[in-house]
Structure 1
Amino acid sequence: MLRAIRSITPLPISHVVYSHSHGDHIGAAYTLGSPDNITFSYTLRVSNQSLELDHKGANHAAGNIFVWAPLQKVLMLVDIVYPGWVPYYELGVAQNIPGYVKSHEQILSYDFKHYIGGHLNRIGTREDVLISQAYVKDLFNACAQAMHLSTNPNSTLYAPTIQAAVGNAAPGNSWLVLDTVNNILSSYANNVTNEKWKGKLAGLDVYGLSNAEAMLEALLIDWGINGAFGVTNAPV
Structure 2
Amino acid sequence: MHVDLVFPGSAPLKNLAIAQDVPGFVHALDMTLAYRFDTLVAGHFRLGDRDDARLTREYLSDLIDARVETNRTVDPARAAAGIDPTNGWATLGAYFDAVARRCAELVPNRWLTTLGDAGVFLLDNAFAITESQRVDGDPLVGPDRLPDWGIPGR
TM-score normalized with structure 2 length: 0.85
Which of these residues, 120, 125, 140, is aligned with residue 64 of structure 2?
140
Shift in Å, 1:171: 2.4
Question: By how many angstroms is 1:108 displaced?
Answer: 1.2
Calculate the aligned-residue CA RMSD, in Å.
2.4
Distance 1:164 1:204 in 2: 28
- TM-aligned CA deviation for residue 228 of structure 1: 8.1
| Compared CA separation, residues 230 and 182, structure 1 to 2 (3 A) | farther
Distance in 2 between residues matched to 1:147 and 1:165, nearest whole Å: 12
1:112 aligns with 37
The letter of the residue matching 2:6 is V
Distance 1:86 1:106 in 2: 19
Paired AA for residue 21 in structure 2: N
In the alignment, does 2:1 pair up with 1:87? no
Contact 2:67–2:130 (CA<8 Å) still a contact in 1?
yes
Contact 1:220–1:226 (Cα < 8 Å) also in 2: no
Structure 2 stretches of 5 or more lacking a match? Answer: 139-144
Query: 1:221: how far off?
Result: 0.7
Structure 1 stretches lacking a partner, 5+ long: 1-65, 67-76, 151-157
How far apart, CA to CA, are the structure 2 residues paired with 1:226 and 1:233?
A: 14
One-letter code aligned to 1:203: D
Quick one: distance in 2 between partners of 1:117 and 1:184?
33
Instruction: Give the drift of 1:196.
Output: 3.7
8 Å CA contact 2:68–2:146 kept in 1: the answer is no
Give % identity: 27
Q: Going by fraction, where is strand more abundant, 1 or 2?
A: 1
Aligned to 1:208: 122
Does residue 166 of the first structure (1) align with residue 80 of the second (2)? yes
Higher helix proportion: 2
Residue 219 (str. 1) matches residue 133 (str. 2): yes
- Corresponding residue pairs, total: 148
Please say which structure displays the higher CA radius of gyration.
1
The higher-RCO structure (CA 8 Å, 6+ apart) is: 2
For residues 106 and 153 of structure 2, what CA distance do their matches in structure 1 show?
23
Structure 1 residues 80 and 216: alpha-carbon distance in aligned structure 2, compared to 1, 3 A threshold: same
Q: Taking structure 1 as the reference length, what is the TM-score of the superposition? A: 0.57
Cα pair 1:226 1:232 within 8 Å, conserved: no
Provide the secondary structure at the position in 1 that maps to 2:131.
helix
